[in-house]
Each structure stands twice: as structure tokens, then as C-alpha cells.
Amino acid sequence: MKNIDSYTHLRGESLFVDDIITRQDTLYGLVFDSPKAHGIIKNINFAKAEAVEGVIKIFTYKDIKGENQIGGIIPDEPLLAENEVHFQGQPIAFIVAKTEAIAKKVRALIEIEIEELPVITTAREAKEKGSFISAPRSFNLGNTESAFAKCKYVFTGNAFSNGQEHLYLETQGAYAIPMENGNIKITSSTQGPTSVQRIAAQVLGVAMHKIEVDVIRLGGGFGGKEDQATPWAVMAAVAVQHLKKPVKFVLNRHDDLRMTGKRHPYDSTFKIGLDENLKILAYDVEFLQNSGAAADLSPAIAERTLFHATNSYFIPNVSSTVHSCKTNLPPNTAFRGFGGPQGMFVIESAIALAAHKLGIDKHIIQERNLIREGDEFPYGQIATKVEMENTWHTAIAKFQYEKLEEKVARFNKENPILKKGISLMPITFGISFTNTPMNHARALVHIYQDGSVGVSTGAVEMGQSVNTKILQVAYKTLGISPKKVKLETTNTTRVANTSPTAASATADLNGKAALKACKALKERLTGVASGMLQVNKKAITFKKDKVFVNGETTKLTWEEIVSQAMLERVALSENAHYKTPVIYFDKTKEKGHPFAYHVYGTAITEVTVDCLRGTYEIDAVNIVHDFGKSINLGVDIGQVEGALTQGIGWMTMEEIAYDKNGSLLSNSLSSYKVPDIFAAAKKVSVVPLETKGTKMAIKKSKAVGEPPLMYGIGTYFAIQQAVKAFNAKYNVKFHSPFTPEKVLMSLYEESSEA
Ligand code: MTE
Ligand code: LUZ
Ligand code: MOS
């Protein structure tokens, strides 16, 4: 089944926040933000700004009736700055005017005086100065100290991975309208409608039931709207509370780039120890996460870095620590993979360094240490139904890895200027929110009296096609045609207390709730049909809008049963709740069974580097991926291709740059490059691994949203291999993105060690 939105997407008819027909008395919002990264606000002068014709009101923290606090995990973030500012782009005032153009004019006239304080932009500097968001976390297994003593080879190094801009096509935004009795309805482009509702209620000082949040769909989120869609919606709501007029606020691209957080840069140091058989005996790693100026989701992201610090390998002795370092950058946030990619880049770097020093290929070490059935992850979960080696060996066989190696060696021998490199990248990604209490969802399913069906869940559609998957689950369970089912908007009044659409778990959680609701409805209607046909319930099935008895078709239709159910006063609505069984995690011991299951896969990446220019092409990425039993392979392969490309962008070309004053230099799409069709891999093959799947996944179809991003990490090491083939004196470094500039320098540098 195609994505159910493809028809309206293609015709430009799909609705996003900016497409909503506004009420004619709508006002427009704009944020006045801090021009300095750290300082004390000495004075703000609104006089000139307030004199502009058409400005309605400029809101500051003083206008907030509830709490000026939007922090989700830690209450450390004001909606509007009070006396201090902590990053450039931090909201200070919210301008509401008759038009966006007027608001812009007003913004330019606000005068501010800030007494500047020292600015920290890097995690390392923050650590040296003792500037942290929260206490460090450590996951440990075995005893690294005694294990290192037994190692034949020990290597130490460091790895840096930079941030990444989400670049959702639809920028952040919301439209808030006053209803009666002080109630407010907010249409938001958010992954977390309940967060918007909860924080709006808190800031406005009203009960949650006064705030209704509705989400039609997102033009991409990628984690950037898990927490950071909230402030804009809440500002609009604050203005509605005062003005009793609708307020629309959609960020322009420049403001969005400047004011919102990104993937966290990580600066990490590692020590890896191997025995004579190249078994990794010990791994010691310290991650410095550049969290930015407030917690946002940083502690949860730091935690997931630890969960994935050993990627797809079993290492018997591990000590891993992460520090969430407070800097004067916009608070960094969730981004596809949620700290997992950063953790995996470091272990892959450690293995690459060991291989380099030992003069062998990286994949020999990788292969010898792949996780197997019964192995223990550093967080205590025992690996079961492991498909790691299965994907690895299937990839090697299917894509003829040995032939590829020969081809590359031959090519590099014959070509003095062009060099090829290849890499193998295994992934193992845990599915579930690592915070166990978040793993729940609900669905509300109505069968209308004409037989059509409306499905509401907590899932937010953001291009990943979760609505398509839930629709498939609903129509198949009810035995009706797909066109009879409609996926409703995500709305806090219909489905309450939801977890955000995140952690790749949305289709599992909400799909399972929808499945449960549909099963209950079908059971009831089977009772009605049994009465109408005078046969045992067990003999009855529904298929394609018809009723079958013992597999034989009857004249009775779905519509007729629904009509009869109405006459018999049978409930045609069902609300179901699902929570992931089995999982738990004990933070006092840092052990447990946090994941419902893991997703596995292996990518083989082939690149060609132009050693005159430092430019490169990604010739092919060949992947064997564990989808379980996919319910929609078209959608799932699309997710792999998209995530892979996003991962390649992170590793190769997307270069976030702040200057030492905390000013974003990569502040437009001309200075921040994301992969386009020319930068994407020339060829991508995705082969689904044949497995039985797991019952923990919706219809045994495993979560797919985030894991394939980490295939992109393979690109770094493929390029590195090509560089090594050209320059024997290259001093291997792990500093992503591996931009053409850095490649060029690497091609011609002479090792400082040698
Ligand atoms: N795909 C598209 N097209 N747009 C997105 O914003 N977000 C990704 C992934 N795939 C995203 C996407 C992220 S970060 C997550 S967590 C998952 O989708 C969330 O959806 P799921 O739980 O339904 O997989
Ligand atoms: N969000 C979250 C996530 O709150 N918890 C998680 O574990 C998670 N994992 C991936 C992406 N978003
Ligand atoms: Mo995805 S980072 O869980 O929104």
C-alpha cells in the first residue's frame, strides 16, 4: 500500500500549519531573541517598537500568568528570558502584530543592553570549567582494569562528531485560537501534542483540559519537534490568553536555524584492548555531550549513547561514562538515533584505530566481535533472537564482498589519482523509549453507522507513514476495504496523555493499541452477525466488507451488520490501551531489560575519492536489513534510504559552525549543505533479511525509523580507507563530518607520529 498521503502531497493539497485558513481577526507572532550568547540583561527599550502602527503587544516574561518554565526533564529553561541570557537566539520577547511584516519591523526597533559574560561553546571547555546540565551517568560491565592488563594490544584515541541540523521542510510553527471560557485550541507542528498541552497549561496557569492540541501532520520532524515545537505554540497561546484573538506563529528558516537546537556534538576519548585473536576484551569510553544552554532532552539522549556505546559487538568488560556539558549554544535536542549514532561512531573509530595500528582491515576485528545469542549488553539485557551475524554474512555473500575487495585493490593499483575505499557497518539498535514509563499508547476507533471507520491514536504523521501502517492494521483486522478507514488528526481531546512520536516505536505502540480496539469491535460485530445468520460466532469471519461463514461467502455485508448493531444498541466505538510488556530498567544499578527488541543490519559502502580535489562520490551502499516481517516494504525501504542519506550527510558534508561568541555561522542553506541528489549514494540496495520477526513488534514488522541512519557511519570509514590508500603518511583521525576540505588536508598531510 502506498503512503495514504501521496495523492494530496503530490497535488499540494495536504495541510500543514501554514496552510490552515486563518480567521480574519488573526494576529501574527515573531520572537525577539538574544543577540548575545551569555550575559545579563541590563535594559530593554520597547518605546520605538511599540510606536509602530499595527503592533498589538510585545510580551515578556512579566506577562506570563503561570510558570515561566518549559523544561521537560529538568526545569531549567524559561519560555522568555528574565534577567539572563544563555545562548544567541534565546527568546526574550514575543511580538504580536497585525501582519508578519509589521512584526519584523517592530523587532528591528527593540533596543537591548546586555552585560556580557564568558561564553562556552565546546563540551571540552565546559567540562574543564565544571559546567554541566546533570550528573554524569556510567554503564559498566565486567572489570576493565584487570581486562586491559590481559590485553595484547591496547590503543587510545579520541573521536569527535559534530551536530546536525534537522532541516525539516516545514519550519516550526503553531496556530492558536481562543474558544469559549478561556479554552484555547492550538494547531501545532509537534511530535509531542501532550507536551505542548502540558507546558501550555503550566505557562498559562490553567488546567490541561483548557488546552486542546491538534496535529494534522508534520513536514518532517526527525526529532527536532519532539520537545522544541513547544515554545512557539506556548507563546502563541500566551498571546491568545491575553488578546482573545487567534495568533499564528510560523518561524522563517533563518530564525528556525538560529533559535533551535540540533543533534548534539560529542567529543569522546576511548581506550580499546584486544587479545591476540583480535577479540575485544575491554573498552573504556568517556563521552562529552555538548548539551547547549538547557537540558531539553539531553539527559535521555546521553543515556541512549551509553545504551549503544558498544554498537553490535559483545565486549565483556566495558566502562562508559557520559557528561552532559552545559554550553552557550541553543539547547541541543533529539535527532534520529537520539545519541545512539554518536556512541556508535566512537566504537567504530576505536576499532578503526586498532585495525590501522595493526595493519589489518577493520572488518576483521568487527567480524570477530559481533554480538551473539545470549551475550550480555553492558546494561544487563541478554541478547535474544540476535540477527547480527545473519545480516553480516548475508551482506557479505549477497553483495560479494570479497570480489569487491579485489576490485577496489585493483582499482587503487591502477589509478594514481582516484582511490576507492570500502567499509562494513553493522548496526544494532534497541527499540523502546529507554524511559520505561513512556512506552504506552492509546487508540480510539469509531465505526460510524454507514460502516465507515475513523481511527484516532497518539501517533503523529511526519512523513514516516505511521498513519498508513495503522490504517493497514485497522482494515485488515476489521476485514473491510482500506477506503472505509480514515486516520484522524492527532488530538489531545480524543487521545490523551500520549508519549511523543519518537524512538521509532510509534507504529508498534499506537498500532498495537489500534489493533486491540479493532479486535474488540470485530468481536462485538461478530456477535451481531451470529445473531443475524443464526450460526456460531466461531464460524464467522469478515473479509473485504463481506461476512463469511466457515470460509464461504454470504450475502451479508459489513454495512448491514453495522446497521443491525445500531438497532441492537451495540457500542460502535472502542478505546484501547497498550503498554509494552516485559521491559524495565533500574537506574540505581543501571541494569535491566529496557528494549522490547533490537533491530539489526549491515551496510557495505563503496566510495571513490578524487585525490586531487578531496571530493568524493558514494558509489554504492548495499544493505541487508532486519525488518522482521515488514507490513509495508515500500514504506520501510523508503525509511532506510532516507535515514541512510541523512546519516551520510551527518558524516560527510553537514557542517554546523558556531564562532567563539556562540553565533551560528552555518545559518542558511548556502552555508549549510545537506545531501542533494548529487551527493546521495549512486546506488542503494536494500535486501530484507529473512526472519520470523518478533511478536513485540506490530504484526511482527520491526520499527525502522531511526536504525538505518547509522549505516551512514560506514561512509566515514570508507572514505578514510581511500585516503589511506593514497597517503601512507596520513595520521588517522576521527573527526566528522569528513568534508572535502578535511579529506584534502588528509590526503596531503604528513603524519606527526610516523
Ligand atoms: N521519516 C520522515 N519522512 N520524516 C521524519 O520526520 N522522523 C524519524 C523517523 N522517520 C522522520 C522519519 C524519527 S527521528 C523517528 S523517531 C521516527 O521516524 C518516528 O516515527 P516512527 O516511530 O513511526 O518510526
Ligand atoms: N525519545 C525519548 C527518544 O524520549 N526517549 C527515547 O528513548 C528516544 N529514543 C529515540 C528517539 N527519541
Ligand atoms: Mo526521533 S529522534 O525519536 O524523533
Asked if the model's pLDDT at residue 138 lies above 80, the reply is: yes
> Cα(245) to centroid of ligand 3, in Å?
33
What is the maximum span of the chain, computed from C-alpha positions, in angstroms?
87
When the pLDDT of each residue in the chain is averaged and rounded to a whole number, the result is 97
Indicate whether residue 335 lines ligand 3 (CB < 6 A): yes
Beta-carbon contacts of 340 under 8 Å, excluding residues fewer than 6 positions away, are 304, 305, 307, 308, 429, 706, 710
Beta-carbon contacts of 642 under 8 Å, excluding residues fewer than 6 positions away, are none
Asked if the model's pLDDT at residue 207 lies above 50, the reply is: yes
Indicate whether residue 223 lines ligand 3 (CB < 6 A): yes
Three-state SS letters, 598-649: EEEEEEEEEEEEECCCCCEEEEEEEEEECCECCCCHHHHHHHHHHHHHHHHH
Q: Cell for 502?
A: 519518537
CB 253: neighbour CB atoms within 10 A?
Answer: 12
pLDDT band for 549, please (50, 70, 90 cuts).
Answer: very high
**Contact residues of ligand 1, CB 6 A cut-off:** 220-223, 336, 462-464, 466, 501-507, 639, 642, 703, 705-706
Please tell me the predicted confidence (pLDDT) of residue 751.
75
CA distance linking residue 299 with residue 138, whole number of Å: 12
Indicate whether residue 220 lines ligand 3 (CB < 6 A): no
CA distance linking residue 324 with residue 137, whole number of Å: 9
Instruction: Give the distance from CA 527 to its chain's centroid.
Output: 43
Nearest residue (by CA) to ligand 3, atom 4, is 223
Ligand 3: nearest atom to the Cα of 338: 2
For residue 383, CA distances in Å to 194, 430, 546 come to 33, 11, 44
Indicate whether residue 709 lines ligand 3 (CB < 6 A): no
Ligand 3: nearest atom to the Cα of 337: 2
Helices and strands, number each (H, E), in the chain: 19, 30
Instruction: Give the distance from CA 5 to its chain's centroid.
Output: 21
**Contact residues of ligand 2, CB 6 A cut-off:** 297, 300, 304, 334, 338, 433-435, 502-503
Please tell me the predicted confidence (pLDDT) of residue 754.
44
Asked if the model's pLDDT at residue 753 lies above 60, the reply is: no
Query: Inter-axis angle of helices 713-726 and 633-652, to 10 degrees?
Result: 50
Report yes or no: 371 and 333 within 8 Å, Cβ to Cβ. Answer: no
Determine how β-strand 211-215 pairs with β-strand 184-188: parallel
> Cα(275) to centroid of ligand 2, in Å?
35
CA distance linking residue 5 with residue 249, whole number of Å: 25
> Cα(332) to centroid of ligand 2, in Å?
14
Report yes or no: 282 and 272 within 8 Å, Cβ to Cβ. Answer: yes
CA distance linking residue 688 with residue 599, whole number of Å: 12
CA distance linking residue 441 with residue 457, whole number of Å: 8
Q: Which domains does the chain possess?
A: 6-117+166-259 (3.90.1170.50), 340-434+596-747 (3.30.365.10), 440-579 (3.30.365.10)
Nearest residue (by CA) to ligand 2, atom 9, is 503
Ligand 3: nearest atom to the Cα of 504: 3
Half-sphere exposure of 480 (CA within 13 A, CB side): 27
b/e sequence 73-98, b meaning 16+ C-beta within 10 Å: beebbbbbbeeebbbbbbbbbbbbbe
**pLDDT tens per residue across span 595-635:** 999 999 999 999 999 999 999 999 999 999 999 999 999 99
**pLDDT tens per residue across span 325-380:** 999 999 999 999 999 999 999 999 999 999 999 999 999 999 999 999 999 999 99
Indicate whether residue 733 lines ligand 3 (CB < 6 A): no
**pLDDT tens per residue across span 35-55:** 999 999 999 999 999 999 999
Indicate whether residue 338 lines ligand 3 (CB < 6 A): yes
**pLDDT tens per residue across span 460-479:** 999 999 999 999 999 999 99
